[in-house]
Copies of this chain bind each other. A is one copy, B any other.
Amino acid sequence: MATTRTRTTRPSPALPHLDEIIHQRVRLGIVSALAAGGPMAFNDLKAVLGLTDGNLSVHARKLEEAGYVACRKFFEQKTPRTEYELTAAGRRALEQYLDQMEAVIHAAREG
C-alpha cells in the first residue's frame, strides 16, 4: 500500500511576494522619500536620491502608471515646476511591501 510522506522538518520559505514596482531600488528610494518627506519637487527628489533627470523621469512614470505616485505640474514665478506625491494607493502598497520585507528578514534570520 502506498503511503504519502510529507517533509515537515524544513521550513518552507517560498518565493517572497514582493511588489516588483516598489522593489526596484530606485523606485523604492522614490516612494520612501515621498513617504517620509511628503510631496517633493522633481529637482529636490533628484538631488536627494542622486539621480539623473532621465532616471528619475523613467521610474517616476512607472510609479505614476501604477497609480502609486501623482504628478503635479505648475508654474512658480514663471518657472515650470514638477512635484510628486505618494497617492493613498501608493502608501498602502508601500506599507504592504514593508510588511512583506519584514517577513522576509524575519524568515532569513530564523536560521
B-contacting residues of A (Cβ < 8 Å)? 10-16, 18, 20, 23, 25-26, 28-29, 31-33, 35-38, 40, 44, 48-51, 94, 98, 101-102, 104-105, 107-111
The CA of A108 and the CA of B31, in the complex, are separated in Å by: 8
Q: Give how many copies assemble into the complex.
A: 2
**Contact call A15/B20, Cβ cutoff below 8 A:** no
Residue numbers in B under 8 Å from A101 (CB-CB):
101, 105
Q: Is the interface of A mostly helix, strand, loop or mixed?
A: helix
The CA of A16 and the CA of B30, in the complex, are separated in Å by: 10
Additional 8 contacts, C-beta under 8 A, given A10-B37, A14-B29: A10-B48, A13-B29, A14-B48, A14-B50, A15-B50, A16-B28, A18-B25, A35-B111
The CA of A107 and the CA of B50, in the complex, are separated in Å by: 17
